[in-house]
Chain A
């Protein structure tokens, strides 16, 4: 089998996940997109393992580890999401803007309809 097939598929899956990470509003959907990206990496690992015929099976071992790490990540990630949701009442990623320079400044980069009242109301919670 040509290596190009799994490699291109992995690249496309990765970019799909990338799009999801950048474009999705719900944090859980963002986590799903992260899973997609991890899977793309796994596919690459497996494909190159098959091509290189590594005696240590490094590719496959690494894939297993990645899967385990991904599972740990999803566990912690979901815990964080739940915590945020419990504190802020939302899991929309573009409403969590405590990193903004001045919370009062209207934001031109994102066409967010009404972020201000929510953040202000929930900030003390």
Chain B
């Protein structure tokens, strides 16, 4: 099979699996699990085959046009280059892991068939986004992901939180998608095509008329999808969904879609220095803010969600300094270790019976209860904190190296300000990342108190998946010397300055947190009942703790700025509709009714009255006719 054939099959198989799952889900429960796992697994294998076939060679472009669509044609196009095939492999592997994990995690869930089909559909859409070479087709996958995310976040729709979170996720990402759509149209109007290769070629040839406007419009959609400030607020709430969904959608794939689109369209952003600076500032605010917020969260999954936001900030930062190789490198390694973290956290929650870190800190022996999760999560947290030799170290150093490169003026066309912003905020965020990773580990596995309750043993599927994901988490960084051949060719190996700086800062962050934890737990043995007192984040953040725990009250700000005006407008519209518009409508009904009542009074049933009226009318008509006929009238 040619790479094209396999690449077509990769999104198609999960899609067919999803359709079959929807159709057969209720009637044939026995087929649901194979239908969920096998197409995704096959897609992952085919994605790997495609990656091997495309390899480090030139990008493969295939397009077919089903029907003419007017001035700007829309093609069913495939664009297979190093970025696409590697991310497709990541998506396929993570999706397969999630599907296998879900068979254990949701084995008693009555809605598992639709859940599995939605995950398959989601995977298919993501793979479509990754492989497509046409922005319109990309948008289709983009929106399908949005709607799947809505359904999956709202999987436990019996709970108020899940309903609110799914709506919020949908609305906030849509808020970004509208400018994104406009941006795509503006881009197509400017370059005359929806094909990404065509757009990039056109920009290289002629440039863009309004690069800043287009880039900022696209940026809004990216910020919504990739949960960047200020549209990130949906991601922590989306943790109300099942944990595998968080692992798949909100860590490894969907949120990466925004970063991926920027990486594909990087020439558009690179054409506007202003857009790059905005991107850098956005990344900086996101990284630091999410790091602070993660340090204050009590829910394991919310810690991981904020950490996801922060790591996505690293990726956008890498894009802001024009190095998409570093961004995609970090995307892939982050996808692997964050999926592992989420799945491990799922195992942890499963074992502890709670989401709360402070509750876990009052249990001891959680590490012995779930040894697989303990070891894998520990390594994944080290990778998250960018401790060598794990994957996160290499990818983060690539980002920091690119930022340093840009800051010192080594990158042409990239503003130095963007480089400095990304570099400094990246270092601060590294400190924070190490801090919250340590805090998470200490609180979850080094708690003191009664033994953790003994729940049912973990299913094999869940354990195995953790070790499958453990491999890239631990070892993906070693591929750093070979990746440039797949990407733009820029070196991704760590430079000495940033590695020492980054690792040192990370170690400092981890040690400070550990010291604070020791400090707080020592007297806390007396007041062990107050579990929150052992939280090192509370001490470290000081007065910032409360706002950080609440996500810096951004939701409250949004409530004041947007929700209340919209509600007030809705009340006004309702008033206008009920009291003003409906008045006319009601009057339109009442008027004829009164008229009818008046006319009805004439219907007396007295035949003589009818006849009299009839004759009088006939008489008037006859006289009028005579007058007209004789010409004497009028």
Contacts and interface: CB of A to CB of B under 8 A. Distances in A.
Nearest to B599: A101
A118 to B, nearest CB: 13
Q: Is the interface of A mostly helix, strand, loop or mixed?
A: loop
B624 interface: no
Contacts of A110: 604, 606, 609
Contacts of B611: 21-22
A109 to B, nearest CB: 5
B601 interface: yes
Contacts of B607: 93, 96, 99
Contact of B603 (A21, A23, A99): A99
Interface residues of B, number: 14
Given A18-B615, A101-B600, A102-B600, A109 B608 contact: no
Interface string B596-624: 00001111111111111001000000000
A103 to B, nearest CB: 8
Contacts of A107: 601, 604-606
A57 interface: no
A96 B603 CA distance: 13
A101 B606 CA distance: 11
Contacts of B601: 105, 107-109
B600 A109 contact: no
A23 B609 CA distance: 9
Nearest to A106: B601
Contacts of A96: 605, 607
Nearest to A18: B615
B606 A109 contact: yes
Contacts of B602: 109
A10 to B, nearest CB: 16
Nearest to A109: B604
B604 A97 contact: yes
Contacts of A102: 600
A100 interface: yes
Contact of A100 (B604, B608, B612, B615): B604
Contacts of B605: 96-101, 103, 107
Given A18-B615, A22-B615, A101 B608 contact: no
Interface string B245-283: 000000000000000000000000000000000000000
Nearest to B596: A101
Contacts of B609: 109-110
A54 B599 CA distance: 50
Contacts of B603: 99-101
Interface in A86-101: 93-94, 96-101
A21 B607 CA distance: 10
Contacts of B610: 99
A26 B609 CA distance: 15
Interface in B289-314: none
B611 to A, nearest CB: 6
B608 A22 contact: yes
A104 to B, nearest CB: 12
B613 to A, nearest CB: 10
Which of B601, B602, B604, B615 is most buried by chain A, counting CB atoms within 10 A of its CB?
A: B604
A106 to B, nearest CB: 9
Interface string B109-131: 00000000000000000000000
A22 B607 CA distance: 9
Interface in B201-253: none
A6 B604 CA distance: 38
Nearest to A107: B604
A46 to B, nearest CB: 24
Nearest to A102: B600
B598 to A, nearest CB: 11
A94 B608 contact: yes
A94 B615 contact: no
B600 A93 contact: no
B608 A93 contact: yes
A99 B607 CA distance: 8
A47 B422 CA distance: 118
A81 to B, nearest CB: 13
Contacts of A93: 606-608
A28 to B, nearest CB: 14
A123 to B, nearest CB: 12
A33 to B, nearest CB: 11
Nearest to B610: A99
Contacts of B612: 22
A108 B604 CA distance: 8
A49 to B, nearest CB: 24
Contacts of A98: 605
Given A100-B604, A100-B605, A107-B601, 14 more contacts: A21-B611, A22-B608, A22-B611, A93-B607, A94-B608, A96-B607, A97-B605, A98-B605, A99-B610, A100-B603, A101-B600, A107-B604, A109-B609, A110-B604
23 contacts: A21-B608, A21-B611, A22-B608, A22-B611, A22-B612, A23-B608, A93-B606, A97-B604, A97-B606, A99-B607, A99-B610, A100-B603, A100-B605, A100-B606, A101-B605, A103-B605, A105-B601, A107-B605, A107-B606, A109-B604, A109-B606, A109-B609, A110-B606
Interface of B: 600-612, 615
Interface of A: 18, 21-23, 93-94, 96-103, 105, 107-110
